[in-house]
Amino acid sequence: MKFCKSIITTAIVLSACSLNIQAKVSEQDAKQLGTSLTPLGAEKAANKDGSIPAWTGGITQAPAAYSVGDHHPDPFAQDKPQFVITAANYQEYSEFLSPGQIALFKAYPDTFKMPVYQTRRTASLPQFVYDATIKNATTAQLVSDGEGVENAIIGVPFPIPQNGLEAIWNHVLRYRGEGVARWGGQAGPTASGDYTMIGFDEQVMFLYSQQDMTSAKIAEDNIISMFKQEVTSPARLKGTALLVHETLDQVKQPRQAWTYNTGQRRVRKAPNIAFDAPGTASDGLRTTDDFDMFNGSPGRYNWTLVGKKELYIPYNSYALHAKGVSYDDILKPGHINPQLTRYEKHRVWVVEANLKDNMRHIYQKRVFFIDEDSWQIAVADAYDARNELYRVNMTYAVNYYEVPATWTTLDVYHDLNSRRYLALGLDNNEKMYDFAVKLDKGDFTPQALRRQGLR
């Protein structure tokens, strides 16, 4: 796998393999942010051959036809694929593919395709997030052997990362608004394509991202987000609920989680909602820490920042996001419908996580490919105890104009052994996410979870 040189000094990239290097970024290096680097630390310039253009601010205003509450219209609907990668020609493009993507061509040679479009660097965030990120660059640091962060708030903590843990924390703490209510579901088609929809109502408070939050306050409370999920369908699962308080320092206080079971009509503490426990109603097709591509404590792995490379990743996935697209049109045997996907060449950070000798997890190794413009994990390749590819996970991102923020519209987890996949975030026939929802910490207590279950 070839890696491109970064504007960020080679010394920083090479030294990033060691967790012992935790020095804060110097004021001089931080001056690159907003000049040669974007405010989030991406390379602002185009790549050598121009196939990745310069970043000029991303999407700064919504298309004229858009109103808040709409599914977000495609600003590039007139674009046509430049070429299509298939099982017959993927070797010509292998330099820009992950091992997992190549495995999908081999697993589904007749049907898996990657239509590649013009690269459009659409990622954008509010100015106050950029300002916070630039400030974080010279103050943030890892604590608790990398299982926590201090002296950072609102923006990504390490826009010029010096090791793999800093890079993965950037993903975990990236800005996705201050809160959101969302509706949708997931499905795990069988090898023949049959599926059952699992419906979800979810609410999230991103406490770390609140515009008036301070690093001192977030450190005191040690909670970066609160997440509540209720299953709405099918009938046999309806009413099952989950509550999670995600912590900033996982050693000081691990994640707190509770579940509500409709049969027992009781709320129970759920310390097992972590690591490789199966995800909610996922049929064993993803782990708990696969949610959002990675979440929770990083403590079971040794993390290495391998470097940067150019990769074809899902991007500007507005066709997949469009209102009214039927789930039958999306969910096909083996993988989602390639005709609804859009891949672009982007620079990604490559972060490798290897399981520590004294730890257990079904993934022995994980390799994350993180979009430099948004810190969203775009592709994650997971390996089993034999060091063989086990799962290939991809996120399909759009810019949510009203925030603005780049986040996924669909996460897809491919299990190469069972030849099945899980599509999480299906929302084409639901009302659109509400980023203006008024949420209160009182909505995210075990008592509130019980009251909700009893309704």
Task: Give yes or no for a contact between 259 and 244, defined as CB atoms under 8 angstroms apart.
Answer: no
Query: pLDDT of 222-246, one tens digit each?
Result: 999 999 999 999 999 999 999 999 9
The pLDDT of residue 326 is above 70: yes
Query: pLDDT of 36-85, one tens digit each?
Result: 999 999 999 999 999 999 999 999 999 998 999 999 999 999 999 999 99
pLDDT (average), residues 420-432: 97
Task: Grade residue 122 by pLDDT with cuts at 50, 70 and 90.
Answer: very high
pLDDT at 6: 45
Query: pLDDT of 175-210, one tens digit each?
Result: 999 999 999 999 999 999 999 999 999 999 999 999
pLDDT at 22: 56
Average pLDDT, the chain: 94
How many CA within 13 A on the CB side of residue 427?
24
Task: Grade residue 9 by pLDDT with cuts at 50, 70 and 90.
Answer: very low
pTM value? 0.95
* Cα–Cα distance, 264 to 333 (Å, whole number): 36
The 3-state secondary structure of 132-197, one letter per residue: HHHHHCCCCEEEHHHCEEECCCCCCCCCCCCCHHHHHHHHHCCCCCCEEEEEEEEECCCCCCCCCC
The pLDDT of residue 453 is above 80: no
The pLDDT of residue 310 is above 80: yes
pLDDT (average), residues 6-27: 51
pLDDT (average), residues 257-276: 93
Task: Grade residue 11 by pLDDT with cuts at 50, 70 and 90.
Answer: very low
Task: Grade residue 421 by pLDDT with cuts at 50, 70 and 90.
Answer: very high
